[in-house]
Amino acid sequence: MNKFNFIYVKKYSFHVFVALSILVVIQPSVAGVKNYLQKPDSLFNSYKGVVTDINTREKLPYASLTVESTNTSTVTNADGEFLLKVPKTDTDRMLVVTFMGYGSQRISLTSMLPEGNKIELKSLPIYLPELKVISKDPEAVVQKMLDNRYANYSNKNVIMNAFYRETIRKRNTNVSLSEALVEVYKQSYSNNMNDMAALYKSRKSTDYSKLDTLVYKLMGGPFNCLYLDVMKYPEFIFTNSIFANYSFKFLQTDRIDDRLIYVIEFEQLKNVMEPLFYGKLYIDAQSFALARADFDMNLTDNEEATKLFIRKKPYNAIVNTTKAHYQIEYRLRDNKWYYAYSRVDLNMKINWKKKIFNTYYNSTIEMAATDWFDDVNKKEFKMKDRINPNVVIQDAITGFSEPEFWGEYNIIEPDKSIENAINKIQKRLKKQE
């Protein structure tokens, strides 16, 4: 394993980035808990609510919310719910809400309440691509996407504030929850330097008593999400052999924030035997920038695919990967596209020799950019508590906290199951006081 947190398999002709998981045999233990104190901050307003389809009332997960003409933003959770914190100096601005395939909504922050806001978006019609307009060759569009990346993405080094969360579930029970506010030194898309990251605030809770004799850990932390930025790291999936490995076809056109998007499907060629990917690319019709990508690892050769994820496992465990899904989204700001949100869903089944029942672990890793700063001091950032791309967040941080831990910083609202887990943790902490 090299320092960039992806595995190079010698018999393969390409690099594969993955959300690296470690299966380690250790004795069960009880995670320590430490309370952090956060002074109340009255310099911002908070807005909570939900984003739904205006007709079906269906909740819209991972919709983007951005305060117009600022860098303040967040995304909805899997239940379509959001929590947005806005500096009081910006509360007279407009909130822009966008979601793939829906018309954007502009709402005055002055009309919003602290809680109970319901934002409804209207779906837009889906059209098949007009081949006379966009070319009959989807490979040409993908090639243009790659050729234009220096023009479409930032050529400046910037500081990105982001909220990071990783969860591990044993079947449907949360056994580990880690959250962090991350500062990222985001390198220019025009150079080949790798991004750097530091933890600003962080908390965790791990219930090892529910893990039997096995502790399931995730390696890489925020770097799993950063390396999903395939426009910054195209070699991790879009190598020089991209057209020798994949086939492409147009599916339809769509809309993001009223911009026309080409939806192109790609899949691994049948003569390519290595575990690659299949999914969809959402390419902006005007700039040919990649606005979003959703894709999965091909698990047909499950044994080879699983080797890419496992660093260490018990000798009596047979591990199979049942899901490896990836998502990356970009946001347009000042005619440049920036990292907005990425997510990894990794599910594994462990078959124990001489045991009747299998063990199932489901892990989710997600990170959302919440603010940007162009005034960058690389030397100063290097002096911070930077984390290594091989970091295990579960081991790097300690404790959980009270509700006001995050203060003025934007986070992704927890899903219902995570919210229940947090409530249980807080009740346990109160009993220990």
Distance between CA atoms of residues 90 and 107, nearest Å:
13
Q: Between the CA atoms of 76, 420, 114 and 163, what dihedral angle is there, to the nearest 10 degrees?
A: -50
Give whole-number Cα distances, 27 to 23, 256, 351, in Å.
13, 49, 20
pLDDT of 410 > 70? The answer is yes
Q: How far apart are CA 275 and CA 272, in angstroms?
A: 8
pLDDT of residue 245: 92
For 382, the enclosing helix (H) or strand (E) is helix 378-382
- Give which of 409, 401, 397, 395 is closest to 430, Cα–Cα: 401
For position 142, what pLDDT does the model report?
94
pTM of the model: 0.82
pLDDT tens-digit readout, 212-248: 545 677 888 899 999 999 999 988 877 778 999 999 9
Would you state the structure tokens that stand for residue 273, as one six-digit string? 């035997």
Q: What is the pLDDT of residues 241-280, one digit of tens each?
A: 899 999 999 988 888 877 889 999 999 999 998 899 999 9
The pair of three-digit structure tokens given for residue 270, joined into one six-digit string: 């049948």
More confident residue, 128 or 199: 199
Indicate whether 8 pLDDT > 70: no
Which token pair is 421?
């887990």
- pLDDT value for 408: 80
Please give the structure tokens belonging to residue 115.
């809680």
Q: Is the pLDDT of residue 390 over 90?
A: no
> What is the DSSP annotation of 120-137?
EEPBPPPB---HHHH-S-
Residue 92 has pLDDT above 70, yes or no: yes
Closest by CA to 20, choosing from 167, 220, 312, is: 220
Residue 54 has pLDDT above 80, yes or no: yes
Q: Which helix (H) or strand (E) holds 432?
A: helix 416-432
Element (H, E) at 359: strand 359-373
The distance from CA 64 to its chain's CA centroid, rounded to whole angstroms, is: 13
For residues 107-117, give the mean pLDDT.
96
Q: Does residue 27 surpass a pLDDT of 70?
A: no
Confidence of residue 387 (pLDDT cuts 50, 70, 90): confident
HSE, side-chain direction, 13 A CA sphere, residue 195:
28
Closest CA to 176 of 384, 417, 429: 417
The mean per-residue pLDDT over the stretch 160-183 comes to 86
* pLDDT band for position 16 (cuts 50, 70, 90): very low
List pLDDT tens digits, range 303-339: 999 888 887 777 788 889 999 999 999 999 889 999 9
pLDDT the model gives residue 367: 92
What is the Cα–Cα distance from 288 to 259, expressed in whole angstroms? 11
